[in-house]
Structure formats: structure tokens, C-alpha cells
Amino acid sequence: MIRFYPSYEHIMNQYRYIGGNQTGIMHGVLAPMVHMPPEPCLKSVTGRMPNYHKITFNDPEKHVEYHLSGYGMYHEEALIKLIGESVERYSSVSTEKLLREKAVYCSYKEMKKQGKVMPLEYLNIFSAEQQKTLAQMMPAYSPEHATEDDIIGWIKCASLVHPGEDVWVPMQILCIGFVKNSEKGEKFFTPSFSTGTASHRSLKKALLNALVEYIQIDSFVLSWYTKQKSKRVIIDDPDVLKCFEACGLGKDSPYEVIPLLVTMPDMDLPVYLNVLKRKDKKLPYLIVGTQGDLNAKNGVLRGSMEATAIIFMHMFNALFDPEKIEFSNTTSAFADLDTNVLYYGVPDKAKEIDALLEQLTGDTIKLSEIESRWENDVDAQISHLLSEVSKVSEYAVYVDITPPEVIEKGWSVVRTLIPELCGMCLPGFPFKNHPRMKKFGGVTNEYPHPLP
């Protein structure tokens, strides 16, 4: 049954709730991407967010790159994704002060007396050498690992795997754009990323998406940096092939589509690293997207769409900022999520990149052979993922970070933290000291990961 017609007008009305040049959490202007044949014709739209972070962190010089975009086969799909991503980014920045008011500043030794506490081994996830290098590049970081006597800001959160139980976790790995409290003597050890944060029109679906994203990034980071041999997926599903053909990724596409199944052996969720490699060895030579999905077919499709959306980043920089491409390939320490992407777009590195991709690729598997975990019941999907997480995690937590001004518009935003899994990392600084990274053989791939 059609509930809203025309659907695009309904979605635009949803955008008007959050978009406005005077009081919106987004600017009122949207920018759809222009199709440039023979590039894939995926619908993509982007927008800008006011510099709320300058107010939140009381730093007029602070710069945050939000990477806001939405993509899909239809304009409606692209716009829905953009709205959801905008709400998520805004919530992550705007709730930092609210969480800070609840922080307790003390040492790990003292915090253990208050209740269950995340162990410091999940905060000291860089090697000693990495920690020193990071501090040299960004003086806010401590050059040494955290000790039981160092002052840290702690937040009490609800456990994901033990209902009714609370866990104290460091605020610095929970909050995006974290700034240490120097007055309290707090020390800063590792950056935080938006991994495990998701928005939706229902709280349960936001939680579901947050869990999927966390497991997805863990699988990608581990498979990339430990050089796990991943099976190449042979797409034998007619619906997926039809969608690829419709958006310009069919047999006549300038790109070869190479989906790799990067699911880790202890996590029952189909996760893909979708590689698009240019057949004519022109820019951009290689781009990737990663997606986890309880529906195996959906994951392959969405991962390829994510990769497609990155094409325009390469073209924009080639036209308007070629110096950045040069920097990415000669000087960058890959302490950001831009230069690592541009590094893989240069055709001059084709042989080197092909050799790396070959090391990451194992046997083949048909898409039809990959078992989905999809059920129509959201509760059942969440239950399945929590069951998987509970196998490896004792300290997983979640927080509802929906700001009041977003709640009244019908949105929910959930932040999860699963310290035993590997979250997103700075491309040049994989977590060499993380227990899970060590479990799977440690860092053996020194190439930066290619995700934005």
C-alpha cells in the first residue's frame, strides 16, 4: 500500500524539519551529483552542516570533515540516506557536552572500586612506537601508554551483553572530536571514530544498524591489516546483476567489480569489501566500499554503491586540488581519511595495487552459497547480533545520544562501543597492540586502508 504520494515530496518535507539556512542542523541547499558518462549513474546527493563543532568544542580553529552524502539507485533513496547521516553526525557532535557533564575523572585504579570497568588494554591499542609517533604529530596525545594511575574521564554506560548491568568506559573513545580536560589532568591516548553510531526512525533499528556497522568495520580492518585471504564472490543472482546493469556497473562498465567476503570466523554476519578496479587503468584506478548486511545479496549491492559514491572525490581533487593527490602519494602519513583514498586512485601504481589485491584474494564463492541471516523481525535480528557479540565481548555498551531537538522530529541515534572488536583506525596507524589484532596474526599489511 502506498502511504505517501508522491514519495519525493514526503521525503523533502522530512528534510525541511532539519534543513534551513537560519536554524537548521543542515544548510537548506542540497547538491545532487552530475552524471559523467561512462561513469556509473548512481544517484548521489550531498550537503553541508554548519560548524557546530566550533561551538561545542569552544575552538574557532577546529576543523571537522563530516563526509556527508547519500547515494542509491533513486533520488529518494539518496536523500533518505543523506538525512539519516546528517542526523547521526549532528548528534555525535552536539551531545559531547552533555556526556562530559556526566564524566568522572579519576585513575583506572580508583575507578575499579566504582564497578565494572573497561580494561586499559583496549585503550592502549597502539604499539609503544606508534604512540610516540602519534604524539609527535598531534601533541594532544600522550606519548606513552595509559597506566592505572593516569587520570581519565569515564562514562557509565548500559551493557549490551549483560542486561541491567553498567560498565565504565573512557569518554575519549566514546565521543567524536574528543578534547581532553586539562584542568582535571586528563590524558588522551587514542582517537574516536563514528564506528557503531547509527540513526533511524526507530530506536531498535538504529541499534541494529549500529551493531552491523561495528561488526562490519571490525571484519574489514582485521582482514585488511592481517592479510586474511578472503573469498572472491561470484555474483550469480539475477536481481543484483540487474541492479548493477541499471546503475552502470554491468559488463560494459569501465570498472571490474570484485566483491570479497571478509567475514571473520567468529562473527556470523556477511561482510564484504567491494573493490571497483578500472579496466582502462585510468584515474581513479581502485576504489572500495565495505558493507555488512544480514541479507547477503543486499550487502554486495550496497558495498558496490558505497564504492561508486567515492568516484567523485577522486575527480574533484584531480580537477581542483591536484596538489593533494601528489601529497597523498609522496608525503602523507595517512593520519586522515582522505589521502588514503586518493593514494589508490593513481594509475601509476596499478601493478603494485594489483599485487596487493592478489595477496588479499583467496578462493571463490557464489553469492547464492552465502547464507543470509535476514529475518523480518527486528528483535530477532538484534538478538542474533548480540549473541555473536557476546561470544567475544564482555564490555560492550550502548548510549542513546539523540538530542532533544532531533527526538521531536522523530529520529533516534544510538552509539555503541564494543572495545574487544577493532573499530575504524587512522589508515597509517592500525592498532598493532589491540588484543584482537594480535589474535589474528598481527599487522602484516603496511599499506593504509582505502576507506574514507
Q: What is the pLDDT of residues 295-344, one digit of tens each?
A: 999 999 999 999 998 898 898 899 999 999 999 999 999 999 999 999 99
pLDDT band at 155 (very low <50, low <70, confident <90, very high): very high
H or E stretch at 230: strand 230-234
Which CATH number does 8-101 carry? 3.30.160
Residues of the chain within CATH 3.30.160 domain(s) are 8-101
What pLDDT score does 242 carry? 95
Q: Give residues with Cβ within 8 angstroms of 2, minimum separation 6.
A: none
Longest dimension (CA), the chain: 64
H or E stretch at 10: helix 7-18
Query: pTM to 2 decimals?
Result: 0.94
C-alpha of 60 from chain center: 26
Please check the confidence at residue 291 and state whether its pLDDT lies above 70: yes
Condensed to tens digits (0 to 9), the pLDDT of residues 229-266 reads 999 999 999 999 999 999 899 999 999 999 999 999 99
Please check the confidence at residue 2 and state whether its pLDDT lies above 70: no
Mean pLDDT lowest for which of 34-43, 353-362, 411-420? 34-43
Q: Give residues with Cβ within 8 angstroms of 275, minimum separation 6.
A: 257, 258, 259, 260, 286, 287, 288, 307, 357
Kindly state the average pLDDT of the residues 200-218: 97
Distance from C-alpha of 19 to C-alpha of 68, rounded to nearest angstrom: 13
**Roughly how many angstroms between the first and final C-alpha of the chain, as a whole number?**
38
Kindly state the average pLDDT of the residues 425-441: 98
- If one compares 298 and 68, the residue with the highest pLDDT of the two is 298
